Amino acid sequence: MVNRILILIAILFIYGCSSTHIIKSATPISADKCNVKIYSSLQSAQKHGEIEELCIVTGTSSGSFSHTVGTAINKHSNKVCDCGANKAFIQAQDAGTLGTASVTLVGFKHINKKTVVKDKKIYELAKKCQLKGGVWINDTCQIELD
């Protein structure tokens, strides 16, 4: 029993503290395909297109020999793959006034522009339908015939 407790403490020390908050469910990305791109801010992420936030990951550099924000990012960035994201932006960071650095990452995906264009076309068709007195149901304009 004592050995199990010591192993658990060692694991917690190695991995440090982290938490994940799911914003929107998505299919997780497997560990072998997890390659996260980190953006320095929300604004830098949005320069590449509209984003959809999937999760928030908070972690520290605890359990490492190096206590920098970069270490905290490296230790915890792969956790955004667990919530289906392969990109993250830094929402908050602390260089560590008490010896350990911390970081908050927001995992996201860029919204497929083809989907946005398709949705815009459907919106325009639905708007025309409504102007003619119809109702848009299941991607079809329903107009009452006299």
Give the pairing type, strands 102-110 and 135-137: unpaired
Residues 81 and 58 in one domain: yes
Give the confidence band of 110 by pLDDT, cuts at 50, 70, 90: confident
At 90, which CATH number? 3.30.110.70
Give Cα 27 distance to the centre of its chain. Answer: 12
Question: What is the average pLDDT across 121-136?
Answer: 80
User: Which range of residues forms the domain containing residue 62?
Assistant: 2-111
Same structural domain, 60 and 127: no
Q: In this predicted structure, what is the pLDDT of residue 101? A: 76
Instruction: Check: CB of residue 70 under 8 Å from CB of residue 43.
Output: no
Name every residue whose Cβ is closer than 8 Å to that of residue 34 and which is 6 or more positions away in sequence.
78, 81, 86
146 and 100, same structural domain? no
- Which pLDDT score is estimated for 113? 62
Which amino acid is residue 99, in one-letter code?
A: G
The candidate with the shortest Cα–Cα distance to 89, out of 37, 124, 34, 35, is 37
pLDDT band at 14 (very low <50, low <70, confident <90, very high): very low
pTM exceeds 0.75 for this model: no
Q: Is the pLDDT of residue 11 over 50?
A: no
**What is the residue type of 142?**
Q
Q: Do 69 and 127 share a domain, yes or no?
A: no
91, 130: one domain:
no
Residue-level pLDDT at 48: 82
Read off the pLDDT of residues 38-55 as tens digits, 9 standing for 90 and up.
888 898 888 888 889 999
73: confidence class by pLDDT, cuts 50, 70, 90: confident
Nearest to 21 by CA among 69, 70, 59, 57: 57
Look at the chain and report how many structural domains it folds into.
Answer: 2
Pick the residue with more confidence: 144 or 70? 70
Say whether pLDDT at 125 is over 50.
yes
14 and 45, same domain (yes or no): yes
